[in-house]
Amino acid sequence: AGRLRMEHLPDFSGMTYGVLAKRLLTKQAVVLSDANPSYNAIQPHVERHQPSKTDPKKAAKALPWVHIAISNAKRVFLGIYHSISDCWLQCYLNEFCFKFNRRFERHISVNQLFTVIATNQLH
């Protein structure tokens, strides 16, 4: 699995996905997604968008790390926080992504932590 980034979205509209793609993706990006029509708004902002209609029973095999990351985040949120308000959700997502992206590092030094914070690479 590569690096993970999660963002709390106000809705699932094409306009929201288009704005997000423009802000986060490079023009050289290749995006794999399911066939939700809202994802079509990503196309103008990337080199290639590959939508794929997948049987729901086989979805976990098509994009396994997406499903693993989402289910792990849900478990963490339900197990530790019990209840999360919308105003704090993005902070919790950032924390989860920070830990997920560094899951193979044994420790993180204070220096590394300050570098991450200073360069806003929390995801």
Q: Is the pLDDT of residue 111 over 90?
A: no
pLDDT at position 61 is: 84
Q: Is the pLDDT of residue 123 over 70?
A: no
Mean pLDDT of 8-36: 93
C-beta separation of 97 from 122 below 8 A: yes
- pTM for the predicted model, two decimal places: 0.74
pLDDT at position 38 is: 95
- Nearest Cα neighbor of 19 from 28, 3, 7, 30 is 7
- Report pLDDT digits (tens) over 23-47: 999 999 999 888 899 999 999 999 9
Domain boundaries, the chain: 14-118
